[in-house]
Amino acid sequence: MLFVFPGQGSQKIGMGKDIYDAFPSARDVFHEVDDSISFKLSNLIFNGTEDELKQTENAQPALMATSMAFVRILQKEFGVDICAKARFLAGHSLGEYTALCAGEAISIADTARVLRVRGQAMSRAFPQNGAMAAIIGLDLETVEQIVFECYLDEEIVQIANDNSVGQVVISGHKNAVNRVMEKASRFNVKMIMLDVSGPFHSKLMENAVEEISEALEKTNFRCPLKPIISNITAQAETNNFKELLIKQLTGRIRWRESILWAESQAVSKCIEVGFGKVLIGLIKRITPNMKLISINSLGSLENFADY
């Protein structure tokens, strides 16, 4: 069984409010995150605006807090230890931090602090003239060839996310991203410019590396209770997470390969823990035969506890 945790883009105002109201263990997680970053993030999650929540420094710890609230409820209220059930844990981009937290490699408080720094540093790294876009309907090799043709030393573009079969995200200078989209348009595919605060998972994030490295160095990492499938290596890892998380800033998120690797290890069930169903949707296209479950609401919690 594989447990996965969502990345940025899944956030929505009000996420987790049903479990916050229902369970003290969920409230404890949200309050612990508030205290660790000295900011009432829970109030923003439940009562703020979408514009505030989508800011990278808010969205990242907010999504982690929501996922970990589900993890804590399963453990405290239903007696379900996901690490006892899982063979592997994985997360998409920032979700890898949540996976490490769920695997008890890092504490909730430390994870929130690092993600707050990560979000701020990523937003500041390249605030202007950067862009990300999703290309839907082209295979990875074709997108790689187009990116190669559009890459210039002074205006870079690269593949940021290999998300699923026929879903690739590019990142870089806005002009270069536009060139890729123009060339890809001849294939009559769907393209979406993403509403993000920077060209994430590209070389343009290098300015964020030092600040995030310092935050990670101050964080106490332990060996996770279950192996984590790394976004960078697309296979299970049990150490060197600080190095892998830094590489993730400027490197490709190899999500499609990660899920295929899990399938090659005879994993037949995958559970997404956290708000939304983004990862379930991607995994369905990667491995159609894998059984998929989403824990994203009060009702789904109760259903999974009976599973």
Rounded CA separation 289/106 (Å): 33
296 Cβ neighbours under 8 A, 6+ residues apart? 70, 272, 273, 274, 275, 276, 277
Domains of the chain: total: 2
Does the model's pTM come out above 0.75?
A: yes
Regarding whether 139 and 118 lie in a shared domain, the answer is no
Regarding whether 100 and 234 lie in a shared domain, the answer is yes
Query: 164, 196, 228: which is the final residue of a domain?
Result: 196
Burial call 113-132: b when 16+ CB within 10 Å, e when fewer: bbbbbbbbbbbebbeeebbb
Rounded CA separation 53/281 (Å): 23
Helix-strand-coil percent breakdown of the chain, rounded to 5? 55, 15, 30
Q: Could you tell me the residue range of the domain that residue 161 belongs to?
A: 130-196
Regarding whether 301 and 232 lie in a shared domain, the answer is yes
Residues that are catalytic:
93, 201
The CATH number of the domain where 273 resides is what?
3.40.366.10
The DSSP output letter for 71 is: H
Burial call 245-263: b when 16+ CB within 10 Å, e when fewer: bbbbbbbbbbbbbbbebbb
The one-digit pLDDT tens for each residue of the chain (307 residues) are: 999 999 988 889 999 999 999 999 999 999 999 999 999 999 999 999 999 999 999 999 999 999 999 999 999 999 999 999 999 999 999 999 999 999 999 999 999 999 999 999 999 999 889 999 999 999 999 999 999 999 887 899 999 999 999 999 999 999 999 999 999 999 989 999 998 889 999 999 999 999 999 999 999 999 999 999 999 999 999 999 999 999 999 999 999 999 999 999 999 999 999 999 999 999 999 999 999 999 999 989 877 766 5
Question: Hey, what long-range contacts does 145-151 have (CB within 8 A, 24 or more apart)?
Answer: 146/180, 146/183, 146/184, 147/180, 149/183, 150/176, 150/179, 150/180, 150/183, 151/176
The DSSP output letter for 8 is: T
